[in-house]
Amino acid sequence: MFIAANWKMNLDKVSISKFCDDLYNYKFSSKVEACIFPSLPYMDYLNNLIKKLPISVGGQNCHYKSHGAFTGEVSPKFLRDTGCEYVIIGHSERRSINNESDNEIKLRAQSAIDTNLKVILCVGENLSHREKGYALKFVEQQLLKCLPNDFKNLLVAYEPVWSIGTGKIPNVSEINEMHDHIKKVVLKNTNKKVKVLYGGSVNVENIDSILNVINVDGVLVGGASLKVKDFLAIYSAAVKHLNNSI
Ligand code: PGA
């Protein structure tokens, strides 16, 4: 079970320090893995604050080159250097605001894999695909265009674009159907089994029903991960879910 906290462009130094104070009073479980994706300038700062805790840090994106004249970009090598274990690639905000294409996302994912980062590859349909009944087909095609040629450590995050930051989520059978489809598509095309996280408006109220979906292996949480109380409540729900399913 995996809990990813995507802080996006939120939480400054003071807020991060307060967030981490509360983490020290919490008893983490070895069964649930957690990774926080802070804003880049605070990577080292956060990593130092949580180095005694079983939480890793990750980058919100990386470039496909290891170095060069790419103003404003970050090298996968530098993420590794600052202690990152994971990197999110292909988030819908990068696709829509920064015009990252499927092909570019594939290059970024491959470069991250080659640098020994674990990749969380994001895919997801928009509302019109869903309403017209094309969601499975759209996500399948997006996935096939973005999957790196070779990988060991890769998770897929299913994040319907219409669900991100909106409070709306697909129903549990739609989530299960999509996750099952993603797993089958990856297995068929690469002979590899992948874990699939659900992302989009995950919060304290809906976490139990999402984790009960059979094909959900964890969650990628944005807004609700900014408050330490909610982050820990989501983490605790994952621990409880695992304990109940044993
Ligand atoms: P949200 O964001 O939880 O705020 O919807 C999720 C994401 O964008 O990864």
Residues marked active site are found at 91, 159
Q: What is the pLDDT of residue 245?
A: 83
Give the nearest ligand 1 atom to 92 CA: 8
Does the reported pTM lie above 0.75? yes
- Please name the residue whose Cα sits nearest to atom 9 of ligand 1: 222
**Which pLDDT tens digit goes with each residue over 104-130?**
999 999 999 999 999 999 999 999 999
Which of 156, 176, 173, 163 shows the shortest CA–CA distance to 223?
Answer: 163
- Cα-to-centroid distance, 59 and ligand 1 (Å): 15
Q: How many CB atoms lie within 10 A of CB 85?
A: 16
Query: Do the Cβ atoms of 88 and 59 come closer than 8 Å?
Result: yes
Q: How many CB atoms lie within 10 A of CB 54?
A: 11
Q: How many CB atoms lie within 10 A of CB 67?
A: 9
- Please name the residue whose Cα sits nearest to atom 1 of ligand 1: 222
Terminal-to-terminal C-alpha distance of the chain: 13
**Opening angle at CA 141, ends 119 and 178, nearest 5:** 75
Q: Give CA 48 to chain center in angstroms.
A: 22
- Cα-to-centroid distance, 68 and ligand 1 (Å): 31
Q: Average pLDDT for residues 182-202, to the nearest whole number? A: 97
